[in-house]
Each structure stands twice: as C-alpha cells, then as structure tokens.
C-alpha cells in the first residue's frame, strides 16, 4: 500500500522534471540547437507533425540551423510554419535547404528569458508539491480506513517529503544550468 503510493508519487515527480526540461529546452539560448524547432508542427498529408518527422534538422554552425526536407514540396510549408512560430526568426531558402539564422540575444532579452525560465521552474515546483499533497492525502485515507498505522503514515510522509525535496533540487539544478546557458555570451 505505502510502496504503491511512494512509487506513484516518484513516477509523477519524474515526469514533472522531464516536462520542465522540455519546456526549458524551448527557451532559446544564443546557440543553435535542433530542439528549438521541436514544438513547430507542419501539415503533412492531412495531419500535423513535428518538423523533425518530415525533414532533417541539423546544426550548421553556432548560430545557424539547416533543415533539409525529404520532399521538395515541403520546403514552402516548413518555411511558412517557422515564420508563423513564436520564435521570431526568418528562414532563408536555397533550393531544397532551409537555413535558419538565429540572431544574437541582447542583454535585455537574456534577462527576460531568465525570468521565463524561472517561472517555468516555479510551475514545476508547484506541480511537485501538489503530487506530495495528493500522496499525503492517500496516506490519510489509508489511515482512516485502518489499512496502515499512524507510525507507518508518519514514516511514509517523511519519505514523501524527502522525495519532494530531492525532485525540487533536481528542478533547481536544471534551472541553474539553463540560467548559466542564457547568461553566458
């Protein structure tokens, strides 16, 4: 019973950390990285798919991505999707290759991005705390139904608190890494 609650809480917390890593990966640093385009979707034979499923996305140099669609007719579609995205970048097409130059970030923009990253991390911390609250609630109900003793409940709550602290530290470490990335020139 207690083991199940702990396993479930740990699994949910792990998913939260993964989700935060993905959200922070979308926040652009000064360097080009293929994951910047992961959230952009294009229409491909009637369904919306990520760019990586219709083209090869590669890093040409520190500030340029190259996209090579597998089908010639996808060039215009991909180019349009990138222009309409929230990234604020303009792709340049040369035949079947799309080059996406990334402008250098200003100091002001870097600070804004750090604020966004901190906000995302805080959302992750809140999610972790909510998972802790749910797990503690399950323990209280198990105690009420006399499935566990008060001592077992107390020990389990301590374990859940330790899990919570560990996962919040992981989120803080991911945030620190992202901040360092954003603020380095």
Among residues 118, 127, 109, the alpha carbon closest in space to that of 174 is found at 118
What distance in Å separates the CA atoms of residue 75 and residue 17, rounded to the nearest whole number? 35
Q: What is the mean pLDDT of residues 18-39?
A: 79
Task: Count CB-CB contacts under 10 A for residue 68.
Answer: 15
47 pairs with which residues across the strands?
Answer: 44
Counting Cβ atoms within 10 Å, is residue 114 exposed (0-12), middle (13-18) or buried (19+)? middle
Domains 2-26+106-183 and 34-101 are alike in CATH topology: no
Structure tokens at 33: 């990285």
Computed over every residue of the chain, the mean pLDDT equals: 87
Average pLDDT over every residue of 89-110: 84
pLDDT at 29 over 70: no
- CATH tag, 34-101: 3.30.1360.40
Both tokens of 173, joined, read: 């470490």
Domain boundaries, the chain: 2-26+106-183, 34-101
Question: Which of 3.40.50.1970, 3.30.70.940, 1.10.1510.10, 1.10.132.20 would CATH assign to domain 2-26+106-183?
Answer: 1.10.132.20
**Tens-place pLDDT, residues 130-164:** 999 999 999 999 999 988 898 999 999 999 999 99
The token duo for 153 is 């409940």
- The dihedrals phi and psi of 85, each to the nearest 5 degrees, come to -70, 175
Handedness of CA 166, 29, 71, 83 (dihedral sign): positive
181 with 114: CB under 8 angstroms?
no
3-state secondary structure of 149: coil
pLDDT digits (tens, 9 = 90+) for 53-89: 899 988 888 788 899 999 888 888 898 888 887 667 7
Above 70 in pLDDT, residue 48?
A: yes
């Amino acid at each position: 019973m207690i083991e199940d609650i702990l396993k479930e809480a740990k699994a949910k917390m792990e998913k939260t950390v993964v989700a935060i890593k993905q959200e922070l990966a979308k926040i652009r640093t000064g360097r080009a990285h293929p994951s910047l385009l992961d959230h952009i979707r294009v229409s491909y034979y009637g369904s919306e798919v990520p760019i990586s499923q219709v083209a090869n996305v590669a890093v040409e140099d520190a500030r340029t991505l190259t996209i090579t669609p597998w089908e010639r007719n996808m060039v215009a579609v991909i180019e349009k999707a990138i222009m309409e995205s929230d990234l604020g970048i303009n792709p340049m097409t040369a035949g079947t290759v799309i080059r996406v130059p990334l402008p250098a970030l200003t100091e002001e923009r870097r600070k804004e991005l750090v604020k966004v990253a901190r906000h995302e991390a805080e959302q992750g911390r809140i999610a972790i705390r909510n998972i802790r609250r749910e797990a503690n609630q399950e323990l209280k109900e198990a105690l009420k139904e006399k499935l566990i003793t008060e001592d077992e409940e107390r020990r389990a709550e301590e374990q859940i608190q330790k899990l919570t602290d560990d996962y919040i530290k992981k989120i803080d470490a991911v945030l620190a890494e992202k901040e360092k990335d954003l603020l380095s020139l």
